[in-house]
Chains A and B, each alone.
Chain A
Amino acid sequence: MNILTILLLFTTLLLTRVSELKTAVRIIAIQSLMLALACTIVGIETGEVQTYVAAVLTVIIKAGFLPYVLIKIVATLQQEHEDHPILSFNYSSLVACIAIVLAYGLIDQALPGAGSRDALATAVAMTLIGLLLIMTRRQAVMQIMGIITMENGIYLVGLSVTKGFPLIIELGVFFDVLVAVRVLGILTYRLKLAGLSTDTSILKKLKG
């Protein structure tokens, strides 16, 4: 479990450094796979069936279907990179490290003695770094990566403090994530169709 949390944190940090959209999507797929693995481990510990179901769903939806769809969208975009993020790659890695420290501080303050300290801190750090990606990246696809990371982080919080939600709520959350990313994907494609770049910094016509 500890190795897993370190790897999860590593993939998340890696995301702050990539500019190639395809690579980012692959990293997200790997991150989700590891989340599924963590889910399975919790399942073995508690022996509850629903955790296994959640693990299988994570593999199918977050590590399989969504990356597949996103890769296809990226392929149609041709020449789109994250070239000039609002915060440069080096600085965003630095901020991400600060986020990790912050996460440890936060959980020691707010949730002392809840679940495993490292897993929880990783989860909070992932949520924060996801937010960072959404705020500082211009490419639409990178912002979607941010949302998935954030969601993965929150999922890990739930996993480490409560061993996961009841199945029915879990299913609902999965469905929402699936639809959200699908909708965002279609919007990205539409931006492309409308002859616009998928660089979201052009989206500033509406003001006041």
Chain B
Amino acid sequence: MALLLPLVTGLGSMFQTTIVAIKIVNLTGSLLISSSLAAIVYKIIVDGAYSYKMLYVDHLSAVLLSILAVLTVTSMLFSISYMEKDLSHGHITFQMLRKYYGLLNVLLFTMISVLIVGNLGLMWVAVEATTLASAFLVAFYFNHSALEAAWKYIMVCTVGICLALLGTTLLYYAQVSVVGSDLNALNWLELKKISSELDPAIVKLAFIFILIGYGTKVGLAPMHTWLPDAHSQAPAPISALLSGIVLSCAAYAILRNLIVVQEVINHEFLQELLIGFGVFSIAIAIPFILVQHDLKRLLAYSSVEHMGIIMLGIGVGTTLSIYGALLHMINHAFAKSALFYMAGVITQEYQTKHIARIRGLVSTMPLVGTMFIISILAITGTPPFGIFISKFIILEAIFAKEWLSLGAGVLLLLSGIFAGMIYYCLAMAFGSKPKYRASTVSIGKPALMAMSISVVLMILTGLYIPTWLNDMLTMAASIVVGG
């Protein structure tokens, strides 16, 4: 049901002839998608995990499905204002608008598939499909830089994902040599059951390929090179989706594989691998954040950093740290999507992505400016916002393991990133208003709604985590650890 809806909406928007009709079709479509996702999440919370033929969902999928449910609505709301403005500025034609909504819905479809299939092979197909569906959205403006970004995006990610296919093939080989080929090929529940009999050497090799493959899509350093290009060139709502949920979907794929292989390979090897990638990603983001001239690239490098933190949390491998990592996925999705929406409004208004040319946000756009400062404070991990809580949990888990130098090092790196982000944010928010822009500007209502939903949720998760969310995260974390 949830799979069909985006397809129908996408097809619907391809055939509409007026802007108003496209808006209505897509808004109702996204609301329906979100509510069906919410229904799935609700069913998981009440009844626990359930499966149907090739599909399987449990609390871990529920965490990501709930993020997707929120982002579907906000990104659609924001798209409406953003694309309308682009249309009126003459950047795009009406034909392109239809394609945009069509592809956006295909992207939603592929992401839902990643989260609800119960089979590592099909999951590979779905993750690759998210790349392909978003490639044209990255190249959407079809100018030199957008084409370059899309080319790099699809090249790097396809090569990466090919390696993941190799890893998946090897894992399948390990399974076949134990049980022979049957219908349960690569089904992770079956794999987990027989995991003690799998050949450790092959599984280890397979996991290295899988981690590098999906890690490319997550944006882990040093395979992150496509990420800042793609995020900076795509239309703002797409950047928000890419950063908020597409990266997390790939991280989810890694988690699913991890659940299977951790029974076979020794934990220290896995920990070193994951923590190594995580810390390296955090570290590599710093120089690029400190010397950055492009607003959207600044946010993109911050995504690299946050994906690093999530990997770190997964790598530490205790229930607490994985709880933190999953909570961090949620918080990061809300905060980063809000920031990309604002970046979209700002770049459309100032007609530039150059940080140096954006000044006096608070006086030109009081509401957006204020929310921008709040969101930057949140994303850098200032209390009382959600990201502070989840970072704190991950660090607490590290210190609980008495890895003092690792914890201290990560804290140092994070403070460096805080300094860089705040410096640029304050420069943009205050400073003198540009002379050529006298009056305050109007921002579309849907866009404002999208931003406020994200900001409000971001603040809420910092102040109060409802019981059902807490239970869901705890269950999900124990699934990962091996419950």
Contact = CB atoms under 8 A, between A and B. Distances in A.
A153 to B, nearest CB: 9
A49 interface: no
Contacts of A205: 144-145, 148
Interface string B164-177: 01100110110010
B121 A206 contact: no
B422 to A, nearest CB: 20
Interface stretch (B87-95, B181-189, B335-343, B435-443): B181-189
B154 A187 contact: yes
A169 B183 CA distance: 11
Contacts of A186: 136
B135 interface: yes
Contact of A143 (B121, B155, B205, B297): B155
Q: Chain A binding site: helix, strand, loop or mixed by DSSP? A: helix
A176 B129 contact: yes
A110 interface: yes
A127 B166 contact: yes
Contact of B142 (A158, A165, A190, A203): A190
A131 B159 contact: yes
Interface stretch (A23-31, A74-82, A177-185): A177-185
Nearest to A159: B169
Interface string B204-237: 0100000000000000000000001100110000
A147 interface: yes
Contact of B139 (A176, A180, A190): A190
B405 interface: no
Contacts of A184: 151, 154-155
B147 A180 contact: no
B149 interface: yes
Given A162-B172, A200-B151, A187 B135 contact: yes
Contact of A172 (B125, B145, B154, B169): B125
A203 B173 contact: no
A162 B176 CA distance: 7
Contacts of B151: 140, 184, 187, 191, 200, 203
A31 B176 CA distance: 28
B154 A169 contact: no
A94 B406 CA distance: 43
Given A147-B159, A166-B181, A180-B132, A157 B169 contact: yes
B232 A166 contact: no
A157 B168 CA distance: 11
B166 A168 contact: no
A114 interface: yes
Contact of A154 (B139, B162, B176, B205): B162
Nearest to A174: B125
Contact of A111 (B128, B202, B228): B202
Contacts of A127: 162, 166
Interface stretch (B74-82, B241-249, B266-274, B286-294): B286-294
A150 interface: yes
Given A147-B158, A187-B154, A208-B293, A173 B142 contact: no
A151 B150 contact: no
Contacts of A190: 139, 142, 147
B18 interface: no
Contacts of A208: 288, 291-294, 297
B145 A206 contact: yes
Contacts of A55: none
A135 B176 CA distance: 34
Nearest to B129: A176
A180 to B, nearest CB: 6
B355 to A, nearest CB: 12
Contacts of B233: 206
Given A114-B173, A154-B162, A168-B54, A183 B136 contact: yes
15 contacts: A147-B155, A147-B162, A151-B162, A161-B169, A172-B121, A173-B165, A176-B125, A183-B136, A184-B154, A187-B150, A187-B154, A200-B151, A203-B152, A204-B148, A205-B144
Q: State the 3 A-B residue pairs at the shortest beta-carbon distance, nearest first.
A: A172-B125, A169-B121, A203-B148
